[in-house]
Amino acid sequence: MNLPQKFVEAASAQAIRINIMDIDRKHLIVQVDRITTKFEPTFLLSIRAKPFNVVTVFMPRRYSTAFSDRDIQKINTQSVKLNLVYRGHCSKSNSYVLCIKE
């Protein structure tokens, strides 16, 4: 991706809640950042919501160990293309169901 396009995406980036994502739709993971919130360590995923729109999503606590450093490096260098898929909300556990697909 060229530098001007990166600036356009950075300017339009916004954080969204997982539950407003479309169910069963693949969202290309553009970047993974390991962060620490005031509560705990987690991941911030930058995903492609539309062809020219990148949004960020905070991963729930139970996914905090999902990505290894090697996984993060592969995703961030685009040597592997993975998609985040929101499967819906589980009423029994009151949690969001997510999966990663190629």
Look at residues 54, 71, 72, 46 and name the one whose alpha carbon lies nearest to residue 12.
54
pLDDT tops 90 at residue 13? no
Which of these ranges, 20-29, 57-66, 91-100, has the smallest mean pLDDT? 57-66
Quick one: tokens of 99? Answer: 């999966």
Higher pLDDT, 11 or 19: 19
Which domain does 36 fall in, by range?
3-101
Report how many domains make up the chain. 1
In contact, 79 and 9? CB cutoff 8 Å = no
Q: What is the pTM of this model?
A: 0.81
In contact, 58 and 41? CB cutoff 8 Å = no
Look at residues 100, 43, 85, 36 and name the one whose alpha carbon lies nearest to residue 68.
43
Higher pLDDT, 61 or 25: 25
Higher pLDDT, 87 or 14: 87
Interval 41-92: pLDDT, tens: 889 999 987 766 888 998 988 888 888 999 999 999 989 999 999 999 999 9
The per-residue DSSP string of 57-86 comes to: EEPPGGGTTS--HHHHHHHHTTSS--EEEE
